[in-house]
């Protein structure tokens, strides 16, 4: 009976933290042993109660002591999980306030570029000697590689260029766009690619670099397809026979 009262008194004293001096509280809060103290004492107390009941030193009512001691720890653990989940939600919400333009400008700067923000909200940047133009809409960014090539509408190679562009657009990556002829009849070739940028992604910088590099691959694909189409058409052209022709319809007098 006295043992139960002593343990119960210890539990009550342990949970009366308001009576502990502030200096001791601060020292305890900064201690690395703090997070292990409560679960360790709970285990020791549970084992002690179990042994007391086993050897008939304590009765079964002593289990309530272990429950009372462990309940604050269990409640604290549940509250801790809820607090972390709540903070995680707030953190994601605060990160969502960062738009794609801010992410893109930061990543381009880290890549050694000097992005320029225009009045309409778009961004221009020079990368590897190529001038890119970025437009934004919420979480998304549309990257343009404008006017990297051109051809006149009367050029006989125009059908082959169109075929090469069509073949290139079946590949993964930027899409090649051909504009309508201008007043001089010139048609421009542009490339564009839409991407999503999120602040929670840890690889935005290498991702943007890979996307920009893919524009150079697309230009190379167009060139290769054009050469292949041009070579195939050259092979299909009829060849003139070598030598002189004779007129078999002439008669001798």
Query: In which order are the strands placed within the sheet that holds 116-117?
Result: 116-117, 123-127, 130-137, 140-152, 186-196, 175-178
Q: Are 187 and 230 in contact (CB under 8 A)?
A: no
What token pair was written down for 29? 């809060």
Q: How far apart are CA 75 and CA 131, in angstroms?
A: 59
pLDDT at position 253 over 50: no
What is the average pLDDT across 208-235?
Answer: 92
Backbone angles phi, psi at 243, to 5 degrees: 115, -170
pLDDT at position 45 over 60: yes
Report if pTM > 0.95.
no
What whole-number percentage of the chain has pLDDT above 70?
60
Of 111, 152, 162, residue with least CA distance to 132: 111
Q: Which residue has the higher pLDDT, 79 or 99?
A: 99
């Amino acid at each position: 009976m006295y043992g139960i009262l002593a343990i119960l008194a210890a539990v009550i004293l342990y949970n009366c933290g308001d009576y502990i001096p502030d200096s001791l509280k601060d020292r305890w809060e900064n201690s690395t042993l703090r997070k292990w103290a409560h679960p360790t004492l709970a285990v020791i107390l549970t084992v002690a109660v179990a042994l007391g009941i086993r050897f008939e030193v304590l009765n079964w009512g002593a289990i309530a002591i272990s429950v009372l001691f462990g309940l604050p720890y269990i409640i604290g653990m549940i509250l801790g999980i809820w607090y972390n989940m709540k903070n995680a939600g707030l953190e994601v919400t605060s990160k969502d306030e960062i738009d794609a333009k801010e992410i893109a400008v930061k990543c381009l700067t880290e890549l050694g570029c000097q992005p320029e923000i225009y009045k309409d909200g778009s961004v221009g940047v020079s990368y590897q000697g190529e001038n890119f133009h970025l437009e934004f809409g919420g979480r998304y960014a549309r990257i343009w590689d404008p006017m990297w090539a051109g051809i006149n509408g009367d050029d006989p190679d125009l059908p082959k260029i169109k075929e090469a562009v069509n073949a290139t657009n079946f590949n993964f990556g930027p899409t090649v766009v051909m504009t309508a002829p201008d007043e001089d009849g010139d048609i421009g070739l542009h490339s564009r690619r839409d991407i999503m940028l999120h602040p929670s992604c840890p690889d935005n910088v290498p991702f943007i670099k890979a996307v920009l590099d893919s524009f150079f691959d697309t230009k190379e694909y167009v060139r290769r397809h054009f050469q292949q189409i041009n070579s195939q058409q050259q092979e299909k052209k009829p060849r003139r026979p070598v030598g002189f022709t004779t007129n078999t319809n002439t008669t001798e007098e």
